[in-house]
Structure 1
Amino acid sequence: MHLDIATAAERPDRRPLWSGLAGLWPPFMTQDETGDFFYGYEFDSYPEFQLLAVDTDTGEAVAKACSVPLSFTGTIADGLPEDGWDWAVRQSTHDRLRGTAPTIVSALEIMVRPDLRGRGLSARMLAALRANTAARGFADLIAPVRPTGAQFKTIDTYAYERRLDGLPVDPWLRVHVRAGGQIVNVAHASMVMVGTLTDWRRWTDLPFDTSGPVTVPHALGPVHCDVAGDRAVYVEPNVWVHHRL
């Protein structure tokens, strides 16, 4: 497959094609309210950091990679914030509003069209994201990676599990390490989704009629249900990976 990968700034005419990659996350994964500070503003505020891959044979969008520039004054190797993805979105927004110069770039999402997964497109998009970050003058790319195999594992153990060849057991972490990334630390509260029980029933088609932990397909941990309070909360862990470019 021949791909033409360009930023939204370079190809504003492709704006309608981005909709072909919408709606691919499980519904509950789009309920983190912090995301409202990025999605809907990404093309106006950070167009040079949003990458779209188009199949030149079909003219269709097949993958995207989203990122934001932000400031970070600490030492990356010493650890990145526990609130991972949410922190990256908030920090980039605060920096933009305050006029603070960014020092690093954080990935937010790499999405490959479901019918094309397993063909190495995720690695190609990560390579494009690394190259775009470097081209913008940044030496560091960080990523709050969603370890998809962690659903039935303890994240603090699973994040560091390795295969016999030394690469991570998790497929997404493996893509990053193969590309040169280094695992830094777990962000235990990277995203937070809160809703009424009616909301969660609509998002998951599960009853949510008993207080306690609820196993939800595609969640990396339990959703905590409180029947008396009519609320359920999901706190998602991610794994910080650092790419020194």
Structure 2
Amino acid sequence: MDSILITSLAERPSLVSRIYEISETWPAFIPHDPVAGALLGRVAEDFPHYCVVATDGDRVVARGLSVPFGAGLDGREEMPDKGWDQLLVWAFRDRRHEHPPTAAGALEITVDTAYLGRGLSHRMLAALRDAAAGQGHDTLLAPVRPNAKHLHPRVPMAEYIRRRRHDGLPADPWLRVHVKAGGTIEKIAPASMTVGGSLAQWRRWTGLPFDRDGGVDVPGALVPVHCDTAHDHAVYVEPNVWVRHTLGPRSV
């Protein structure tokens, strides 16, 4: 693990074009969120001071993306129900209109599958916290995607996040990383990300028949995908969990 170097992308701009070289396990339908399709690919280039990258020699092994936004502007909730999608929209809208940011919002941490289980996600979260603090923010807000929730798609998120281990920490491993890093679970973002498509599209993305009305359990989905055969579409509305990180002076 000592061979792994983590820095901001502002410090290593040559890696901006390489952060998606990672072997990853995101579900195939996730990139079809239209907000992600329009904006996510611009984050590293437009906000490099808020993004971090890990390398092992010449190999990119993890990325962490966050964005600045104005949390207190009129009509905004600091932690909106539309979570992940809303963070992206606000960040690019504020950049276009030159609104000063008041907080940073974490979008993702992705670790190469060959490097899972080594504690790298903890280090990447610490690096994202430091990056936000280094830009003068005292808050990093994260619409967290609990990484074991897909094993319990029929359990409401409100019930799921109440599950605890014997030591009082969250049962979910990714929520547990955030809490151990000093984060506080605040509320649910019930419509954090939305992916809609025709039934033919969903069949291509998942290999499932999508031939019955109602909820369809899809591998990797945190909740069932709603299928409507009469109208030939299915919609996935993903809930996330807002976690607040209160930041101190940059530690690195």
TM-score, scaled relative to structure 2: 0.91
Return the letter of the residue paired with 1:43.
A
Superposed structure 1 runs of 4+ greater than 6 Å apart: none
**CA drift at 1:130:** 0.6
Shift of the alpha carbon at 1:187? 0.5
Q: Out of 61-70 and 156-165, give the one that drifted further.
A: 156-165
Could you say which residue in structure 2 is the equivalent of 1:20? 21
Is the counterpart of residue 177 in structure 1 residue 176 in structure 2? no
In the TM superposition, what is the alpha-carbon distance from 1:7 to its structure 2 partner? Answer: 2.1
Percent of pairs identical after alignment?
A: 46
Aligned to 2:250: none
Cα distance in 2 between the residues matched to 1:130 and 1:142: 10
Q: Distance in 2 between matches of 1:210 and 1:112?
A: 36
8 Å CA contact 2:107, 2:143 repeated in 1 = yes
Deviation at 1:22, TM superposition (A): 6.5
Cα distance in 2, alignment partners of residues 157 and 123 from structure 1: 25
Which residue does the alignment assign to 1:134? 133
Matched residue, 2:113: 114
Give the distance between the partners of 1:47 and 1:37, measured in 2 at CA: 18
Whether contact under 8 Å (2:9, 2:51) holds in the other structure is: yes
The 1-side partners of 2:176 and 2:78 are apart by 20
**1:159 paired residue number:** 161
Give the stretch that moved more between structures: 85-94 or 10-19: 10-19
Q: For residues 55-66 of structure 1, what are the structure 2 equivalents within 5 Å?
A: 55-56=56-57, 59-66=58-65
Q: 1:22 to 1:192 in 2, by over 3 A?
A: farther
Shift of 1:14: 2.0
Letter of the 2:225 partner, please give it: V
Structure 2 gap ranges (5+): 248-252
Aligned counterparts of 2:147 and 2:84: Cα–Cα separation in 1:
15
Q: Which residue in the other structure is 2:242 paired with?
A: 240
1:100 pairs with 2:102: no
Say what the alpha-carbon RMSD is for the aligned residues: 1.6
Deviates more, 1:109-118 or 1:79-88: 79-88
CA deviation string 1:153-192 (max 9, x = no partner):
2210111222111111110000000000000000010000
Deviations 1:26-83, CA, capped at 9 Å, x for gaps: 1101111111342231233212112110013xx2111110000001118xxx972111
Q: 1:191 to 1:61 in 2, by over 3 A?
A: same
Letter matched to residue 228 of structure 1: A
Give the aligned residue type for 1:122. S
Aligned to 2:209: 207
Partner secondary structure for residue 163 of structure 1: coil
- Does the CA contact (< 8 Å) of 2:146 and 2:240 recur in 1? yes
Please name the residue that 1:231 is paired with: 233
Q: Secondary structure at the match of 1:19?
A: coil
